[in-house]
Amino acid sequence: MHAPLTDRDILLVVDVQNDFLPGGALAVPDGDAIVPIVNRLARRFAHVILTQDWHVAGHLSFASAHPAKSPFEIVDLAYGPQVLWPDHCVQGTVGAEFAPGLDIPQAELVLRKGYRREIDSYSVFLEADRVTHTGLAGYLRERGFTRVHLAGLATDFCVAWSAVDARGYGFEVVVIDDACRAIDTGGSLAAARTRMRDAGVEEVRSSELPGIS
Ligand code: VGL
Ligand code: ZN
C-alpha cells in the first residue's frame, strides 16, 4: 500500500507542453489524455512543480541542426549518443507553452531545462552531459521534500530520466502510470521501464494513491 501523502511529497508535472500533444511538433501519442488526469492529481498534492522543455532555436538535439540528418536518427555529441528530434519547445513559441487545458495555478515552481544549445536535458535534475545541474535537487532538499511523484510527457524520456535521477539523489520516487504517455522510439519504452525498475522507482495508477493526511 502506498504511504499517505504528506507535506514532504511533491508532484512533478513534466513537460505538458503543446509540442508534445497531438498536432504538436513532437507529438506524443494520446498525450492530451493525461491533461484532465494531471489536473485532478494536482489537487491532491500540497505542493506541485511544473517543468518545461525550453530549447533555444538551433538546439543540437534538433535534426535540423545537423546536415543531412532526420528526426529519430542518433548522432554522437560531445557527451555521447543523442537522439535527434524535430524542432520542438523553442523558447517563446506557442509549442513551448503549457497545454491550454492544464489548470494548475497553485504550482509553486516552473523549472525550465534544455536551454543550453550544446546540451539536451531529458532529466529535470541533471543535463545530458551528466555534470550540469538544473538546481532542482537542491531546491527539493532545501524545502524538505523526501518523495517525488512524477506525471507528464514523455514516459520513456523526460519522465524516466527524471525518475532515475531522483533516485540517485536519494528521493523516494513514484511514477503515476496513467498520468504519463510515451514516445516509444527504437525500444525506448521497454528500456526506460527496465532502468526505472532497476533504480527502485515505484509505478502506480492514480487510483491507487491515497489522499493527503
Ligand atoms: C522530451 C524528447 C525531446 C520529453 C523532450 O519531454 O520527454 N523528449 N525533448
Ligand atoms: Zn526537448
pLDDT tens digit string along 157-186?
Answer: 999 999 999 999 999 999 999 999 999 999
**pLDDT, tens digit, for every residue of 24-73?**
999 999 999 999 999 999 999 999 999 999 999 999 999 999 999 999 99
- How many other CB atoms are found less than 10 A from the CB of residue 73? 13
Q: Could you list the active site residues? A: 15, 113, 158
Residues contacting 47, CB < 8 A, separation 6+: 7, 9, 10, 11, 108, 143, 145
Centroid of ligand 2 to alpha carbon of 129 (angstroms): 14
- Measured from the CB, is residue 45 less than 6 Å from ligand 1? no
* Other Cβ atoms within 10 Å of 70 Cβ, number: 10
- Which of 14, 20, 159 has most ligand 1 atoms within 8 Å of its beta carbon, as the pocket-test mutant? 20
pTM above 0.75, yes or no: yes
The residue nearest atom 2 of ligand 1, judged by CA position, is 157
